Amino acid sequence: MDAISVIRTKRDRGELTPEQIDWVIDAYTRGEVADEQMSALAMAILLNGMNRTEIARWTAAMIASGERMNFDALSRPTTDKHSTGGVGDKITLPLAPLVAACGAAVPQLSGRGLGHTGGTLDKLESIPGWRAHLSNEEMLNVLDTTGAVICAAGDGLAPADKKLYALRDVTGTVEAIPLIASSIMSKKIAEGTGALVLDVKVGSGAFMKTIEDARELASTMVALGTDSGVRTVALLTDMSTPLGLTAGNALEVRESVEVLAGGGPQDVVDLTIALAREMLDAAGLKDADPEKALSDGSAMDVWRRMISAQGGDPDATLPTAREQHVVTAPASGVLTRLDAYDVGVAAWRLGAGRARKEDPVQAGAGVELHAKPGDTVTEGQPLMTLHTDTPEKFDYALKALPESYDIAPAGTSFSPLPVVRERIA
């Protein structure tokens, strides 16, 4: 086998053989296939796709590149959630402790930001002292004592995906459905969870822009999970508008804590509850009441224990950016559109995301929203505040925003899309 022949096969719209897939994943993991060669193959896959047989074999090869975990020793049923990524998507933060407070164990292996979308680990690392990297023994200990853990996948878990995940972020191949599906499902199947709920975003701020693409991705992943013995269901959720009122690392942590305290934006609360119900149902805990666990403080108690168990201080002051810039409404009326992608790009340019896989992120950078579609605004009132430590980034971020919103005359009727658009099982 050689990398060039594998690249040419997919470049010419051929079907990769099982032997080619097994070899290229193994060789890339070992360093025999270079980053630039895997970049070319990833682009060919993005442009020409893979069939179900190829995707299943690619996923199996990713799993085979490392170890598999087992949670049979836990006294609780395990259930997990994965989001395909969006703008302001901080749902994992309140969701994991909420589901744990209802009796399940939540082994949440999360990732870093990809392109204009935020990463759960980047967000949580804005909490002083919090550690993303745990050994398998530490992960199991946190899970056993608190009921939930959010951490990075260990080096031994699907190491091929760890390399390819970072490469996709900087080579314009994030949106490839076969690579998204295999990346997510290889980690989740290797992780060993008993049930999995997929939050597949659809809209301008998601990698899946159309409901048809979102269905294809969701159906592919549900099939991969089900065939591997993992109870899997997917919700297609709206990402035409940012979730909540913040996009950025510490900004989103602050908003998540508000949700756990019984407040927070309604769309974030609604989606958190909807996903919690699916996770608990898949884990066999149909009688659990996530709304009660959110209102009585038990979910907040799990959050505090979970953060402390990973070295974080749940009472610490979160970082704030040194500089702010306010964007005001150019006219009075009804805000009828606020584009999630544009807001995500602005947050990324302010320092909340990374342009190269080795780049750091700014904990306090991002965008704070002061109005959402359906709200009445007045000329000159703040629409959003940009946050960054590096004010020279403001001009670049502002270039993403001139066409990001629409304001209609006062009295214009507005009907938002539902947060949950479809369910696929």
> pLDDT tens digit string along 120-143?
999 999 999 999 999 989 999 999
Q: Are 241 and 372 in contact (CB under 8 A)?
A: yes
List 168, 277, 387, 393, catalytic entry: 168
One domain for residues 86 and 31: no
Please pick, among 10, 81, 162, 187, the residue that the annotation labels catalytic: 187
In a domain, 67, yes or no: no
Say if 383 falls within a structural domain.
yes
> What pLDDT score was predicted for residue 151?
94
Task: Give the domain range for residue 368.
Answer: 323-408
Closest of 67, 66, 2 to residue 34, by C-alpha: 2
Among 85-99, 222-236, 303-317, 345-359, the least confident range: 345-359
User: How many domains does the structure of the chain reveal?
Assistant: 3
Active site residue 11: no
At 243 the pLDDT is 97
Catalytic (active site) residue 292: no
Look at residue 422 and tell me if it is in a domain.
no
Q: Are 149 and 121 in contact (CB under 8 A)?
A: no
Task: State yes or no: is 161 an active-site residue.
Answer: yes
Overall average pLDDT of the 194-217 stretch:
94
> Does the structure show a pLDDT above 80 at 355?
no
Q: Is 82 a catalytic residue?
A: yes
281 shares its domain with 367: no
335 shares a domain with 299: no
165 has a pLDDT exceeding 90 = no
Please report whether residue 271 resides in a domain.
yes
Q: Supply the pLDDT for residue 357.
A: 66
Q: Can you read off the two tokens belonging to residue 50?
A: 């893979």
Instruction: Count, in order, helices (H) and strands (E) of the chain.
Output: 16, 13
Note if 90 is an active site residue. no
In this structure, the answer to whether residues 212 and 99 fall within a common structural domain is yes
Rg of the chain in Å (alpha carbons): 21
Residue 399: count other Cβ atoms within 10 Å of its Cβ.
12
User: Residue 243: which of 134, 87, 351 has the closest Cα?
Assistant: 87
Looking at the fold, whether 226 and 294 belong to one and the same domain comes out as yes
Name residues whose C-beta falls within 8 Å of residue 361's C-beta, 6 or more positions apart in sequence: 113, 122, 249, 351, 352, 353, 354
Per-residue pLDDT at 175 exceeds 90: no
Query: What integer pLDDT is reported at residue 149 of this predicted model?
Result: 97
27-70: per-residue pLDDT in tens? 999 999 999 999 999 999 999 999 989 999 999 999 999 998 88
Give the residue carrying structure tokens 């009688």. Answer: 287
